[in-house]
Structure 1
């Protein structure tokens, strides 16, 4: 349905298929060219939901403009991906510059820093280590807690996003403080 539509999506060098949508479990990411009509995508999704019984939560929809800085600002202010398009529905969130949007556990956006996406993880680690420290764990217990908390809370994001050296150093300091 999507491939037969008027949606162009993105042409990726070396790929025969154009990138229009990525579906994984209950997450859908759509990649629309500036000239693609959001209403066309919405119509396809409505038909797909009707046929499959699935439901899309449009209230959770995020738009991340891709292009020059001027283009992105224009999309945010006009709510249009091109001058000839109708404005995007008011209930759709358009990510601003510096605002990270989470997609399948990774963070995307315009002008986001690699350290910025780690802030919530570091805060969560600090909270958990502080809670565990109150229980007076043994050295062996502390080792297990570090593996469980720090290792468990950083593993996936490190794989999908990478870990900046500054974050690695901050985590090492937190681990050493907790252990000793």
Structure 2
């Protein structure tokens, strides 16, 4: 792919163009509006034949990058440009406001960060509520906060950041659990 005629994506501060990013069985390809999706399919088919891998075209998603007008045009015409044929019907195009998961991070245009974080906060809340019924020790509370409050948020926070309102909600959950939901300071918050 990198040695093909695909232009890929390049910004002024990038030294080389981004065409493909591969990790385990996930492949992310960056196309410019001049790039031919059919050429990409041909390259992937050859690569799959040579490697024995299987490319699942039905899981292919396109996230248009550019002005709101360009993104709307791609969605409406299913074309990267008027010079290109339409994208295959089984390729999903992400509309504005739709998040696409790529390697655990949620990417898209005009996405609601709160909607991405809400299920994670719900899981943390459920797990802490479960453990609250067991009445863990002070040390146990500290470990559980690290497991759930930190462990379940660290990757996504690093990959795409955590909005301030989500951070405040997470802090509230952690404080309530650390203080036994009764306002009694069982653990100094700095110790956590």
- TM-score scaled to structure 1, two decimals? 0.91
Aligned pairs for 1:104-115 (under 5 A) are: 104-115=103-114
Aligned equivalent of 2:89? 90
TM-score by length of 2: 0.86
Which residue in 1 is equivalent to 2:125? 126
Structure showing greater Rg: 2
Q: Deviations over 1:91-145 (max 9, x none)?
A: 1111111111111111110012433322221122112112222323223222211
CA distance in 2, matches of 1:125, 1:16: 41
Gap runs ≥5 in structure 1 = none
Separation in structure 2 between the aligned mates of residue 23 and residue 177 of structure 1, nearest angstrom: 41
In structure 1, the residue matched to 2:185 is none
**Partner Cα distance (2:47, 2:167) in 1:** 44
Q: Aligned ranges for residues 1-180 of structure 1 at < 5 Å? A: 2-179=1-178, 180=180
Kindly tell me: are residues 71 and 14 of structure 1, through their superposed partners in 2, closer, same or farther at Cα, counting changes over 3 Å?
Answer: closer
Q: Which runs of 4+ in 1 moved over 6 A?
A: none
User: Is the CA contact (8 Å cut-off) linking 2:2 and 2:20 kept in structure 1?
Assistant: no
| RMSD across aligned positions (CA) | 1.6
Greater alpha carbon shift after TM alignment, 66-75 vs 118-127:
118-127
Bigger CA drift: 27-36 or 10-19?
10-19
Which moved further from structure 2: 4-13 or 76-85? 4-13
List per-residue Cα deviations over 1:11-61 (Å, max 9, x = no partner). Answer: 232444321111111111010001211110011011011111111222221
State which drifts further: 9-18 or 89-98.
9-18
> Structure 1: how far apart are the matches of 2:45 and 2:11?
27
Matched positions, count:
179
Separation of aligned partners in 1, 2:79 and 2:120: 34
